[in-house]
Every structure is written in structure tokens, then in C-alpha cells.
Amino acid sequence: MTRLLLPDWPAPANVHAVCSTRLGGCSTGAFASLNLGNHVGDEPARVALNRSQYQLAAALPAVPVWLNQVHGTVVATLAVNSTAGITADAAISREPGVVATVMTADCLPLLLCDVTGTQVAAVHAGWRGLCDGVIEATLAHFKRPAEVQVYLGPAISQAAFEVGSEVREAFIKHDPAAAQAFICGKAGKYQADLYQLARQRLAACGVSQIYGGSYCTYQQSELFFSYRRDGQTGRMASSIWLV
């Protein structure tokens, strides 16, 4: 049975959002079972079936606009005629029925909407995109960031996310307060808190309505794919749309 996660946030009634898990698809082996990524080595026919199952189970109003994600900061503006394959790591929409979607398997998915329910966005934030400003680039498309609500979807937790000193230094160069999101690990490594880093960036832009951020894709292996844990693995989706 397909298992989906519904964000626990006070979004306007016309804003719908959902995150998939790894449960409820037809893929096998490393991709078991609801793998939605068609770029990870899974059988294309199975991915296509999984995507159809996701669309049905989530009651999506249209096929998601699947992005070509490259860990960058480009934000795509989607419309009803947008097609898959746009190279971007975030997408916004102001048109009902357009499903903004990002795929992840440890990176942080963010879902955004304004409190008036006129605009939504989906963001893929790995450490590099987060450090380089993908959140700020997305918020630049909103007139009043203080009126934006954000849901932090399933990502790797600090306990499982080991990085080198160069990652820590890159974040601190942008904002010294980022040091609070790192703790010392083993052999000169650090444990990075993607959720906290994202909250810091959001707060710096004036966003205070932030929800979610309680899952760990690495540790909760029964629910989530994790690239850091398994290497070859599937991808989950996080989607948001207006009705």
C-alpha cells in the first residue's frame, strides 16, 4: 500500500502538499519499492508505474513537473504547459493545477506557500544548494517573505550527516551563526544539521512560519530511501500545488 506523508502545517485550504515514502511501489532490490527517480538505474517501466501510482494515491491534479536537479540555485517558474526536464533545483507556481515537485534521498525538500494561497514552491536543498542560496533565490519570487509558510520535508538528520571541515567553513563564511548547526564528529569531521541550516537561512530572510523537520531518511530505513546509507537507491518526491 502506498504510504504518503501529509505536511502538518496551517497552509491555506487551496494549498495541497504531499511527500512520498519508499512504500507502495513496484520496484525491487535497491529501489524497493516506490522509486520515483528515472535517473538512478531502475527499470524505466517500473518508474513509470510508480509515478502513476504516486499521482493516483496523492490525488494530484496533473502529472508532476519533474525537474532535472543539479544541486544549483536556479528557480523555474511553472505554468500549465510546463514539461518535465527543466534544469532547476526549485520551482514556483501561481497557477492552479500545476504540481511543483522535487526529488530527494537525504537532501532537504522544502515546500512553500504564501498565507493568501496565491503562490507555492518546491525546493531541493542539498548542502551545496543550501549554502549557495537556493532558499534565498526561491524566496525572491515571493513579494513578502514574512507571509510565507514553509514545510521541511524528510531529510538526513544531524546524527547521520557527516561532512568535512570545508562544508562547515563554507556555511560559516556566509554567516558565522551557521557554526551552531555543526558538532564535532570523528577524525576531524563534523555532523551537519540541514534542518537547522535551512531554518537559519529562512529566518534571515524574514520567514518565521516554519514547520516539519522531524524525520531522518538515513535512520528510518523502512520509510525512506537514503543515498548516504545505501549508495544506489531510489528517490522520494515532495509536491505542492494550488487548487
Chain centroid offset of residue 139 CA: 15
229 has which bridge partners? none
d(CA 139, CA 135): 6
Main-chain phi, psi angles of 103, to 5 degrees = -110, 145
Contact in structure between 155 and 127 (CB atoms under 8 Å): no
203-208 mean pLDDT: 98
pLDDT digits (tens, 9 = 90+) for 14-69: 999 999 999 999 999 999 999 999 999 999 999 999 999 999 999 999 999 999 99
User: For the sheet containing 90-93, what is the strand order?
Assistant: 75-78, 90-93, 120-125, 108-114, 148-152, 209-212
Whole-number CA gyration radius for the chain: 17
Look up residue 91 and give its three cell numbers: 520551482
- 168 Cβ contact partners less than 8 Å away, ≥ 6 residues apart: 178, 179, 182, 190, 192
Look up residue 4 and give its three cell numbers: 504518503
Average pLDDT over the chain, rounded to an integer: 98
DSSP SS3 for 192: strand
Residue-range domain boundaries for the chain: 4-156+195-242
| Cβ-based burial of 163 (10 A; exposed 0-12, middle 13-18, buried ≥19) | middle
DSSP SS3 for 179: helix
- 54 Cβ contact partners less than 8 Å away, ≥ 6 residues apart: 2, 20, 25, 34, 36, 60, 64, 237
**The CATH fold of domain 4-156+195-242:** CNF1/YfiH-like putative cysteine hydrolases (3.60.140)
Nearest to 58 by CA among 112, 5, 120, 113: 5
Contact in structure between 4 and 153 (CB atoms under 8 Å): no
pLDDT digits (tens, 9 = 90+) for 89-137: 999 999 999 999 999 999 999 999 999 999 999 999 999 999 999 999 9
pLDDT digits (tens, 9 = 90+) for 160-198: 999 999 999 999 999 999 999 999 998 989 999 999 999
Dihedral sign from CA coordinates of 77, 241, 38, 163:
positive
